[in-house]
Chains A and B, each alone.
Chain A
Amino acid sequence: MQSLTMTEKILTAKVGGIVAPSEVVEVEPDLIGIHDILGHIVVDILEDLGVEKPGFKGRLAVFLDHAAPPPSKRYAEVHMQLRRFARRLGAILADVGYGIMHQVIVEEGLARPGDLVVASDSHTTTIGAVGAFATGMGSSDIAYAIATGRIWLRIPEAVKVVLEGELKPYVTAKDLALAILGEQGSSWANYKSIEFTGPLVSRLSVSSRMTLTNMATEMGAKAALFPVDSMTIEYYESLGVSVKPLEPDPGASYYDEYTLEASLVEPMLALPDRVDYVEPVSSHEGKEVDVVFLGSCTNGREEDFRLAARILRGRRVREGTRCIAIPASRRVYQRLLAEGVISVLASAGCVVAYGTCGPCWGGHFGVLGPGEVAVSTSNRNFKGRMGDPASRVYLASPATAAASAVEGRITDPSRYIRG
């Protein structure tokens, strides 16, 4: 028997015959997702083509998340168009406030291990945290998939990331992702899938796994996968769903391999304007910060805000600095509310909303002005990403972001969190 990577296993099952890297196959997705800022073009295309009945028979879901609630009349119209589309096709509609696409898909179990997911968002790779082969595509590809039920894929080579050792208490999966980016660069995994493995994996929560598979997009990856292990199985059990283990075969062959010793990783920053200009937070301490953003599909979950709250509890955001905290979904918000975390954030002076990723893409809920500096837990710091082209974004973990909010300047969280 040939040894297969997890990528090959999933796609072999989809195609119904062994596939090998670089082969081009046509497959039917299990789940297709579209969202408000790019999905409306998909709807325009389908309407223009006069597609009444889609050829796609799987789960179709529409997410109003990027510009939610609508910051302008134009986006209100986009939302109206997408609601009509969802109603007409009987699609799942995650309306304003429901949450960010990738978060909701995992939270609601809309994707299962072994599924093929395509969506109109580059960070669709996030869903690989639960063992689904999930990839982002443009509007034409998504429209084609909805119209025909098919999508063409080149079977990617897989690269392996081995996570060894233990995380320090103030170091998170985000710091690991930034460390990998710093070492390997933003095109390391272009056209490839990333498979995470190693002894640390079994101790990483689904949430932490999602942070890594989310940032895999910034490494160029087409998809990113964690094994379906007892952590994943327990996660689905909590949703009332039974799933089977899935992992790469021992001896599967990888295009490249990288081992990261987690115990050596310190809190990291990606410096403006590149996701792979990565240096330790400690070497940039003291830089004044105008805005701190806690949230996004990268770091908008319970564990992220609990960690931030450990630092913010009983403290206040420094005068002159704004803190914007946006849990990724209503469900995350409700849990944090019940735990008292939302109260900590509000008492510290953060503006708290939920269910949108507006600030990350410079859309709304805190767009940066010229020269402003942000520390953000999101995934991109490109020129002008969060607003004015002359603003500057430092990507960091929720711990670093919270510590920086308290001090009003870039701050290593190690002195706030001990053991």
Chain B
Amino acid sequence: MRVSGKAYILGDDIDTDVIIPGVYLVIKDPSELARHALEPLDPEFYGKARAGVIIVAGRNFGMGSSREQAVIALKAAGVRAVVADSISRIFYRNAVNNGLPVAICPGARDAIRHWEHVELDLLMGRLLVPDRGLEIVCETPRGIALRILEAGGLLSLLRRELGRS
């Protein structure tokens, strides 16, 4: 699995309330949720993310609430993967469950330049900047998490299981 996009750089401790504020949790349509992704931090994010972005963040990305809408909103806005120095546990699980690739790439946030083209190779565990020949080692989902990600998310897997039984 390999995904690519423009690097969108973020800081440490990006919490789920800024990824999708509580007031929008009642919205069900992913494309509507997407319009409010990261709104308190960058009201223009939705417009920018349409190009297809990989979020490159610092420590503890996605801390806070269990709201899966945080992942749904980012993905629908055009986020193709999230890489960070570390990722909060519920966000990590929610991302995998929604087929949004995640990777722990220590040092990436400092090494990557905003809006440059980056590629994430999930099986090799590498974040690449082809233009600069840069390669950063990442810890990517393995085992059951990888199986869920490859299936396109937990519900795709569940659909298959229910189909069999």
Binding site for B on A (CB under 8 A): 24, 37-38, 41, 44-45, 49-51, 67, 72, 74-75, 78, 120-122, 136-141, 143-144, 147-148, 152, 186-187, 190-191, 220, 222, 274, 361-363, 380, 382-385, 389
**B93 interfacial by beta-carbon distance below 8 Å:** yes
Q: A24-B144, A44-B28, A122-B65 are in contact. Are A384 and B93 (CB under 8 A)?
A: no
Which stretch, B47-55, B108-116, B156-164, touches the partner chain A? B156-164
Judging by beta carbons under 8 Å apart, are A384 and B21 in contact? yes
In the complex, besides A122-B90, A190-B86, 11 extra interface pairs with C-beta distance below 8 angstroms are A24-B143, A38-B66, A49-B158, A78-B26, A136-B90, A148-B161, A187-B13, A222-B89, A380-B64, A384-B21, A385-B22
Q: Nearest-CB distance from B145 to chain A (Å)?
A: 9
Judging by beta carbons under 8 Å apart, are B64 and A382 in contact? yes
Judging by beta carbons under 8 Å apart, are B93 and A143 in contact? no
10 smallest A-B Cβ distances: which pairs?
A138-B68, A389-B40, A138-B94, A187-B60, A140-B97, A382-B17, A361-B22, A122-B66, A382-B15, A136-B66
- Neighbouring B residues of A363 by C-beta, 8 Å: 22-23
Judging by beta carbons under 8 Å apart, are A141 and B64 in contact? no
Judging by beta carbons under 8 Å apart, are B86 and A362 in contact? no
- Neighbouring A residues of B26 by C-beta, 8 Å: 37, 67, 72, 74-75, 78
**B153 interfacial by beta-carbon distance below 8 Å:** yes
**B4 interfacial by beta-carbon distance below 8 Å:** no
Q: Nearest-CB distance from B79 to chain A (Å)?
A: 16
- Neighbouring A residues of B75 by C-beta, 8 Å: none
A169 to B154, CA, bound (A): 49
**B155 interfacial by beta-carbon distance below 8 Å:** yes
Please, which residue of chain A has its CB at the minimum distance from the CB of B59?
A: A187
Number of contact residues on B: which range applies? Answer: 35 or more
Judging by beta carbons under 8 Å apart, are B89 and A186 in contact? no
Judging by beta carbons under 8 Å apart, are A141 and B154 in contact? yes
Judging by beta carbons under 8 Å apart, are A140 and B154 in contact? yes
A383 to B43, CA, bound (A): 14
Judging by beta carbons under 8 Å apart, are A139 and B68 in contact? yes
Please, which residue of chain B has its CB at the minimum distance from the CB of A379?
A: B64
Judging by beta carbons under 8 Å apart, are A190 and B144 in contact? no
Judging by beta carbons under 8 Å apart, are B66 and A147 in contact? no
**B67 interfacial by beta-carbon distance below 8 Å:** yes
Q: A122-B66, A383-B40 are in contact. Are A362 and B93 (CB under 8 A)?
A: no
- Neighbouring B residues of A274 by C-beta, 8 Å: 13
Please, which residue of chain A has its CB at the minimum distance from the CB of B70?
A: A138
Judging by beta carbons under 8 Å apart, are B88 and A187 in contact? yes
Judging by beta carbons under 8 Å apart, are B144 and A152 in contact? yes
A191 to B69, CA, bound (A): 21
- Could you pull out 14 A-B pairs where Cβ atoms are within 8 angstroms? A38-B66, A44-B28, A49-B158, A49-B159, A120-B66, A138-B68, A138-B90, A143-B155, A144-B154, A147-B162, A190-B86, A191-B89, A220-B89, A274-B13
Partner of B97, one of A141, A147, A222, A383: A141
B62-93: which residues lie under 8 A (CB-CB) from chain A?
63-69, 71, 86, 88-90, 93
